[in-house]
Amino acid sequence: MTADGVDLSIKLLNSYIESFGGLSEKQQKNFEIKQKHALRVADISKWMCEKLEFAEEDKNLAVVTAVFHDIGRFRQLMEHNTFNDLNSVDHAELAVEILKKEQFLTKLACNEEEENIIYAAILAHNKFDIPKKLGEKELLFVQLLRDADKLDILKVLTDYYSDRNAEPNHTLTWELPKSPWVSDTVAKEILAGKLVSKKNVVSELDVKIMQMSWIFDLNFRISVGYVLEKRFLEKIYDSTTKSDRIIDIYRKVKVFAENRMMG
Ligand SMILES: [Fe+2]
């Protein structure tokens, strides 16, 4: 993939978004959130590829993948009025469907290998586990997009948690009740060093614990370093009501992250 390909992918994304007419103010705002998210994930991907010393064409490929990774979000919102995949559609599958229908990868002159990588990474970006049976290079791009996506979501969330004047944002807190207690199942998962599963999350506090558990799912050491440098774990922890359980959980994720940097 060339640098011109990257520029074109951004133009294609933007004109695709503009092709939706008659948006309400709220839809317009949600569209902007997803558009900006995609571009920031692209920036983080670029930074990661530079750190990992990827070849120029691979870096561009990772950036294009990031630019398109959430392109399913716009139709999802228009047709189902939600970003919750469980109540609507798998937005990653929708993204691949749209890219094929719009022939965006043909417009970018992708070869077959590049197409396979882009589709594999997009399909895998929102799944609990990384799918098995990926080729070596597909796996690398899957891992990269999953990390870059999580790093940007952590940035958005921690900005939100740190801002005491922020308006309640239900897309970020999932409209769950507030609770001062971490659920037993959620605590058990994170204290065992496991990614917290969405199905066990029942309160706003559980959501925060789940977000802390993403540290276990980061594929690259540089991603863990990014979390530490930006103090994402501290920022989430600082936004919680303290209890022995929370203190234990915070210690667990923090030690894990620091060990990962030394190991
Ligand atoms: Fe996504």
For residues 212 and 247, membership in a common domain is answered with: yes
Ligand 1 centre and the CA of 70: distance in Å? 5
Structure tokens at 189: 């998962």
Residue 165 lies in a domain: no
- pLDDT at position 246 is 97
Looking up residue 33, the CATH number of its domain turns out to be: 1.10.3210.10
Q: How far is the CA of 249 from the centre of ligand 1 (A)?
A: 27
Give a yes or no: residue 251 inside a domain.
Answer: yes
For residues 9 and 139, membership in a common domain is answered with yes
For residue 160, being part of any structural domain is answered with: no
Q: Tell me the C-alpha distance between 233 and 235, whole Å.
A: 5
Confirm if 160 and 180 have CB atoms less than 8 A apart: no
Same domain flag for 65 and 127: yes
Q: What is the pLDDT of residues 100-147, one digit of tens each?
A: 999 999 999 999 999 999 999 999 999 999 999 999 999 999 999 999
Count: domains in the chain: 2
As a whole number of angstroms, the longest Cα–Cα distance in the chain is 56
Angle between helical axes of 56-68 and 25-51 (0-180°, round to 10): 160
Q: How far is the CA of 52 from the centre of ligand 1 (A)?
A: 23
Give residue 66 CA to ligand 1 midpoint distance, Å. 10
Quick check: is 164 in a domain? no
Where among 131, 149, 167 does a domain terminate?
149
- Looking at the fold, whether 62 and 145 belong to one and the same domain comes out as yes
Hey, how many other C-beta atoms are within 10 angstroms of the C-beta on 198?
A: 13
Residue 170 resides in a domain: no
**Phi and psi angles of residue 171, each rounded to the nearest 5 degrees, phi first:** -70, -30
Of 54, 96, 43, 52, the C-alpha closest to 72 is 96
Could you tell me the pLDDT band of residue 180, with boundaries at 50, 70 and 90?
confident
Does the pLDDT value for residue 170 go beyond 70?
no
Q: Using the mean position of ligand 1's atoms as its centre, give its distance from the Cα of residue 58 in Å.
A: 21
What is the 262 CA–ligand 1 centroid distance (Å)?
31
Of 114, 134, 149, the domain-final residue: 149
Measured in Å, residue 74 CA sits from the centre of ligand 1 at 11
**Dist. CA 124 → ligand 1 center (Å):** 10
Of 99, 114, 149, the last residue of a domain is 149
Query: What is the whole-number distance in angstroms between the Cα of residue 248 and the centre of ligand 1?
Result: 30
Query: In terms of domains, do 116 and 13 share one?
Result: yes
Distance between CA atoms of residues 143 and 219, nearest Å: 6
Q: How confident is the model at residue 165 (pLDDT cuts 50, 70, 90)?
A: confident
Same domain (yes/no): 141, 194: no
pTM for this model (two decimals): 0.94
Rounded to the nearest angstrom, the distance between the alpha carbon of 123 and the centre of ligand 1 is: 9
* pLDDT score of 163: 84
Same domain, 132 and 246: no
Per-residue pLDDT, averaged over 34-45, amounts to 97
Residue 171 has pLDDT above 70, yes or no: no
Distance CA 9, CA 12 (A): 5
Q: Which residues surround ligand 1, an ion (CB under 5 A)?
A: 70, 126
252 CA to middle of ligand 1, Å? 27
Does residue 202 fall inside a structural domain? yes
Residue ranges making up the domain that contains 126: 3-149
Q: With 90 as the cut, is the pLDDT of residue 175 above it?
A: no
Q: How far is the CA of 179 from the centre of ligand 1 (A)?
A: 27
Q: Which of 242, 234, 244, 185 is nearest to 212 (CA)?
A: 234
Q: Do 131 and 182 reside in the same domain of the chain?
A: no
Q: Which two tokens stand for residue 209?
A: 């614990």
Query: What distance in angstroms lies between residue 28's CA and the mean position of ligand 1's atoms?
Result: 18
Question: Residue 166: what pLDDT?
Answer: 75
Structural tokens at position 126:
């929102």
Specify whether 132 is located in the same domain as 186. no
**Cα of 69 from ligand 1 centre, angstroms:** 6
For residues 123 and 204, state if they share a domain: no
Q: Angle of helix 136-162 relative to helix 204-213, nearest 10 degrees?
A: 140
Ligand 1 centroid–CA 180 distance in Å is 29
**Mean residue pLDDT across the chain:** 95
Q: Quick one: 61 and 132 in the same domain?
A: yes
CA–centroid distance, 112 to ligand 1, in Å, is 23
User: Do 23 and 136 belong together in one domain?
Assistant: yes
In this predicted model, what pLDDT tens digit does every residue of 74-93 receive, in sequence order? 999 999 999 989 899 999 99
